Amino acid sequence: GREVLVIGRNAAPLLPGSPRDLTNATDLRATAALIAQCRCLITGDSGPMHLATGVGTPVVALFGPTTREWGFYPSGPRDIAHQIACPKAPCSLHGQDACDLGNACMKSVKPSLLIELLDSLDSVN
């Protein structure tokens, strides 16, 4: 099995099992240190994505309202940048603009997709 650690926004109610919830419990340095100890980070196009790249942790980065085509994505051999299909994407350069569809692209992500991406990452590493 995989142990899940939640940082950033609280996603624990969305996750099965008992993830370790460290939302709002760490500063930038502590977050980077936690990410450095992880086998992998699953994240959106966000600061933690860049922290993981900086500390050498493999990343599964999900792009919905933003796009990897603009160049801000992890591109290492142990990283996956996955674009989630959305007819209106990209919504904005840095994801700060409101989405007319209520972030439907990110809300459509199912655990099965994450497991598939993790398995794909495991086969590369």
Burial classification of residue 56, based on how many CB atoms lie within 10 Å of its CB (0-12 exposed, 13-18 middle, 19 or more buried): exposed
Structure tokens at 42: 């699953």
Does the pLDDT of residue 114 top 70, yes or no?
A: yes
Q: What is the CATH number of the domain that holds 88?
A: 3.40.50.2000
Predicted local distance difference test score (pLDDT) of residue 74: 86
Residue 94: predicted pLDDT: 63
pLDDT tens per residue across span 13-35: 556 666 777 777 889 999 999 99
pLDDT at 31: 92
CA 33 to chain centre: 17
Q: At what angle do helices 47-55 and 28-37 cross, to 10 degrees?
A: 60
pTM exceeds 0.75: yes
Higher pLDDT, 93 or 67: 67
Q: What is the DSSP letter of 52?
A: H
pLDDT score of 125: 61
Q: In terms of residue numbers, what domain contains 118?
A: 5-124
Tokens of 65: 């309202």
Instruction: Read off the pLDDT of each residue in 87-92 and give the average, rounded to a whole number.
Output: 75
Q: How many CB atoms lie within 10 A of CB 117?
A: 18
Residues 37, 10, 62, 87, Cα dihedral to 10°: 180
Q: Using a pLDDT cut of 70, give the percent of the chain over it.
A: 84
